[in-house]
Structure 1
């Protein structure tokens, strides 16, 4: 059995975390809470938790999907609930012109372990509120008929609400004492195409799948589907880190899990010449979520849901990337399984055969590859280690990107009511 998922997946492991007798830390103390547990596989259970009840005094609202606009950092990304202020305000104007009352609202993030309190974006909601979900659904139908995408939302689910519920939560638990399957991640047939969690679970023949991790959505931000941060799948490093960002490290047999801030390295060496790499399996020049090196603009620090740029880069590619490597100006060297040069191209974009890898160069680093000749040995070295030096590129290990870190040593860095039920164990995939 494989427990699958997509990108980074927090699941609980063993009989810890959410199973605390005090109940979930949602809403006021003493709310009614029921749990129904079913067995998925030996050592794997699914628990459905229902806490509290809908409060008649708490309204339903309608929330809009906001298309990207010219002000968005990802102008070609699909619509989403939280966008930049310009895109949100633009949608409010369109809704008003169509006769629908709407307002833009800031979405505030409290301080967490490694990110200060901030406004992470803006959402758009109708100015009308509704006593029931059925009433809100009728309004959604009107909006959709007018060409807008919307959903119903219970105001009691907002982070600052002290509503009495109702919350409905599913928790997948893996007990390592009984588990006989495999826990890990999959990105599907290749890294560059996005799939749904259901499709990825089917691809992995999984009994359970959970969505997780961050990845590129906008073609102008890179290759849609490319993990936006570290990725080790089946013991193979396929994506570099966002420097300083946490990652989830998983064991194939569910024997342990941990949060790590790994360090990656990459280099290409030939004779006495050695050059450092900037990335793995991504479009050169585009660094999603930033956190690269000092040449990146506007920053080399992590910057969530943003794309930094660098005109001069060296990026390695494996067979996992896709049908062909990114095309464009620059140079590319193709290596066989023994790190011997197969060919050197004056432009980027080629098809890799089984066992082959390549390195692309752009900008002033293009000349670093052109002296190489077929038959010459050019050693490609890719590695990922923990801060203490432990190797993370090894069989039976999966590493999934994430951020920001909500908890450290069992506590957040500011008072907040998160359901902290998780982390020991997540199966993930890449999309």
Structure 2
């Protein structure tokens, strides 16, 4: 019979005393936001250890540490490259290892349900348990299994998402809109297609502080992997379309809010023909009409399609085969398949085509004005809605064990009742030093910090907080990773 591991997390009761107070102060040196005095919501009960630093007028940074190391290592047998799966698959790989003389235990675990995805059950086949100082012994077991033709890996037990004592290492940056006189912006770096470090984007913009933004597409061509997965608006210009219904962070001046969005993009020819534009600044699929802007940074796809080069007013400057540059001051409509035929038929040279772009707030049903002081960053799972845990893993494309239950480094953004912006990085993948957080733990943390709305941004090795041109946290890759976009706090 399999052993059962409980993956449920302790319920944290939030009262008015738990939510941090936001108090006005007479000097920039005093924190406007204070760390909650009640117990840290993760791990064993107890107050968090904290350090405070005043970064600038209205901006404060807190270093929070809590918990102690207790988890060690195990060895997980792999099922088609994964460390968990169905009971039948777990039992099958376990039996293969037992036949080779290895003592394997099959364990059942429960992936907690979230707002839009029900609870699930999974199974792991594992061998042994080693302390933090004995990882080499676990690695020897992996080698022995490999020699027997059995695929496996060393797993740190703190990554599982089951109850742990930690420890946690968290950076929290708060921006009080009443005292801060600057503004928030998104940045895609030098181009949409290329990845760039958060610190590089921050330095070029003269930002006081910054965090990495949303997820980027690692499953496209290597030279396009800076492309945001989902919506991206930089200073009022749409640079990547939304995945309808997914979470986003809306920035305007020094205000921030969180909602779900969709994009509606269409083109109307001079002859009155109207059709949908299905994507912006990404690889093209069959029978699509895409829009490329000068921020794209590489040539358009060479795919036997057709292109109309437009000036800023929408006048067609040139019709050409696919695969060309997007010159400064121009845009390119790119059609494949039947949409290439649309271009040849309805985008003649010297005609004018009108491109209509909307980013729609799905909570209000209204379009978000794309003014020059507006930016939008796509998130990768909503965490808190209206002061309650509301993890939208399915809607945001992360309804799986690895994203919901497993602990990873996290970058989180939240907004309090009075409009204070809270940015947090939870370092992880550093056994014995910091374990990271699951999606549910991330939601609990943001509630504890006082967020009424909160969102998960890209995490893992991307999680980076920059303060005055220096990393404030410890990126898990050991060095700063190039990312698709970033959130900048500028003077």
Give CA deviations for 1:348-378 in whole Å, capped at 9, x if unaligned.
2111111100111112221100133222111
Q: Identify the residue that residue 115 of structure 1 maps to in structure 2.
A: 117
- The Cα of 1:109 is off from its aligned counterpart by 4.7
Structure 2 vs 1, CA of residues 380 and 82 (structure 1 numbering), >3 Å: closer, same or farther? farther
1:190 counterpart = 2:191: yes
Q: Identify the residue that residue 75 of structure 1 maps to in structure 2.
A: none
Return the alpha-carbon distance in structure 1 between the equivalents of residues 197 and 253 of structure 2.
Answer: 23
Return the alpha-carbon distance in structure 2 between the equivalents of residues 140 and 184 of structure 1.
Answer: 45
Runs of 5+ unmatched residues, structure 1? 1-11, 73-80, 286-310
Q: Matches of residues 312-323 of structure 1 in structure 2 within 5 Å? A: 312-323=287-298
1:275 counterpart = 2:275: yes
Return the alpha-carbon distance in structure 1 between the equivalents of residues 202 and 371 of structure 2.
Answer: 23
- The Cα of 1:184 is off from its aligned counterpart by 2.0
Return the alpha-carbon distance in structure 2 between the equivalents of residues 201 and 244 of structure 1.
Answer: 29
Return the alpha-carbon distance in structure 2 between the equivalents of residues 42 and 101 of structure 1.
Answer: 60
Return the alpha-carbon distance in structure 1 between the equivalents of residues 106 and 225 of structure 2.
Answer: 28
1:395 counterpart = 2:372: yes
Structure 2 vs 1, CA of residues 379 and 390 (structure 1 numbering), >3 Å: closer, same or farther? closer
Bigger drift between 330-339 and 389-398 goes to: 389-398
Q: Matches of residues 239-258 of structure 1 in structure 2 within 5 Å? A: 239-253=240-254, 256-258=255-257
- The Cα of 1:137 is off from its aligned counterpart by 6.7
- The Cα of 1:408 is off from its aligned counterpart by 2.4
Q: Matches of residues 60-139 of structure 1 in structure 2 within 5 Å? A: 60-61=72-73, 109-118=111-120, 127-131=127-131, 133-136=132-135
Runs of 5+ unmatched residues, structure 2? 1-19, 24-31, 392-438, 459-482, 486-491
Return the alpha-carbon distance in structure 1 between the equivalents of residues 83 and 39 of structure 2.
Answer: 30
Structure 2 vs 1, CA of residues 381 and 83 (structure 1 numbering), >3 Å: closer, same or farther? farther
1:357 counterpart = 2:331: yes
- The Cα of 1:169 is off from its aligned counterpart by 1.3
TM-score (norm 1): 0.70
Q: Identify the residue that residue 407 of structure 1 maps to in structure 2.
A: 384
Structure 2 vs 1, CA of residues 189 and 143 (structure 1 numbering), >3 Å: closer, same or farther? farther
Return the alpha-carbon distance in structure 2 between the equivalents of residues 230 and 329 of structure 1.
Answer: 27
Return the alpha-carbon distance in structure 2 between the equivalents of residues 202 and 135 of structure 1.
Answer: 42
Q: Identify the residue that residue 296 of structure 1 maps to in structure 2.
A: none
Bigger drift between 414-423 and 352-361 goes to: 414-423
Q: Which has the higher contact order (CA 8 A, sep 6+)?
A: 1
- Residue 234 of structure 1 contacts residue 397 of structure 1 at CA under 8 Å; is this kept in 2? yes
TM-score (norm 2): 0.62
Count of residue pairs the alignment pairs up: 365
Q: In the alignment, which of 434, 437, 445 is matched to residue 419 of structure 1?
A: 445
Structure 2 vs 1, CA of residues 314 and 416 (structure 1 numbering), >3 Å: closer, same or farther? closer
1:374 counterpart = 2:376: no
- Residue 301 of structure 2 contacts residue 323 of structure 2 at CA under 8 Å; is this kept in 1? yes
- Residue 14 of structure 1 contacts residue 176 of structure 1 at CA under 8 Å; is this kept in 2? no
Return the alpha-carbon distance in structure 1 between the equivalents of residues 140 and 53 of structure 2.
Answer: 36
